[in-house]
Amino acid sequence: MTARTSPTARQRRVGAELRRMRVSANVSAETAAGVLNVSRSQLSAIEQGLRAVSTERLRTLAHHCGTADEVYVASLATLAQPPERGWWEAYRGTIPAGLLDVSELEWHATGLHTVQTVHLPGLLHQGSYARAVFGSVIPALPSSEVELRVAHRMQRQQVLEGDNARPYAGYVHEAALRMQFGGRRATREQLEHLCTVSERGNITLRVLPVEAGAFPGAGHAMLYAEGPVRLLDTVQLDSAHGPDFTHDEPQLSKYRSHLRWMDQHALSEGASRDFIHAIARDL
């Protein structure tokens, strides 16, 4: 088992799933460590994502815990394999690790859903709009770091393109459409871009108008990433200190309900496109 000093969100997720599996089966840490032929401290490191776990050990623990869902176990084993060197690794050490975790999450997702109330969806940004968003960070970032973050955000858009384009559904509050990051021209061009990309077959973009009134989520920007199986779905929330990730089933259930609410109350795709066009024309 290889020790790590800074596990990625994906590696921490493997450890969390193994702990969830063990606790759900009422298997003690001592028993699990014995089954895997590791020390108690090594098991703790595995469950924190600080140590890798082999496919053999993972399957051994799953069998001992009576986990009968073979598709889930196989998907978890794939998650635990040594990570590929994704394109985002070129940015490691130059931008916050949390942003790289978001890239990796999106890359491995089978479907993506987002709710945005202040910023427009990051995967649909143009460079000028993204530059204005990163330029408003406090404390201010050096221009070189702003450009790195913009370049990284542009590369994230690969997941929506090509033969393996992920299905993407974005719900955007009217307030986000009217926020003029970068000024009137940059905002108008960004809104026109939204209308253009929303014509793609894999992208659904819908607007929640202010007249809809109160809405769930307390204004948090949210990304719901579908995993290979439902148990491996992940929610990512934006915060002032960086992205937060959650995958506990009660939380996932809450955010699935959040998305269903948006689906019921947002404008249709066509009406949303017309709505965005109207705002852009007024700029």
Closest-CA residue to 280 (of 151, 157, 116, 120): 120
pLDDT bin (cut points 50, 70, 90) of residue 105 is: very high
* Mean pLDDT (whole number) for 176-183: 96
CATH, domain 90-282, list 1.25.40, 2.20.28, 3.30.870, 1.20.950: 3.30.870
User: Pick the residue with more confidence: 189 or 240?
Assistant: 189
Flag whether pLDDT at 4 surpasses 80. Answer: no
Integer Cα distance of 17 and 39 in angstroms:
19
| Topology given in CATH for the domain delimited by 9-80 | 434 Repressor (Amino-terminal Domain) (1.10.260)
Look over the chain and give the mean of its residue pLDDT values, rounded to a whole number: 94
* Mean pLDDT (whole number) for 57-75: 95
What pTM did the predictor assign? Answer: 0.94
Residue 240: per-residue pLDDT: 77
Integer Cα distance of 9 and 244 in angstroms:
9
How confident is the model over 247-281, as pLDDT tens digits?
999 999 999 999 999 999 999 999 999 999 999 99
How confident is the model over 109-125, as pLDDT tens digits?
999 999 999 999 999 99
Torsion angles phi and psi, residue 204, rounded to 5? -115, 130
Could you tell me the residue ranges of all domains in the chain?
9-80, 90-282
Bond into 139 cis (ω within 30): yes
The token pair at 153 is: 């955000």
Integer Cα distance of 276 and 120 in angstroms:
12
Residue 2: per-residue pLDDT: 54
Which residue has tokens 């815990």? Answer: 65
How confident is the model over 6-62, as pLDDT tens digits?
899 999 999 999 999 999 999 999 999 999 999 999 999 999 999 999 999 999 999
Helices (H), 171-268: 174-178, 183-197, 249-265
User: Pick the residue with more confidence: 240 or 73?
Assistant: 73
Max Cα–Cα distance, the chain, nearest Å: 68
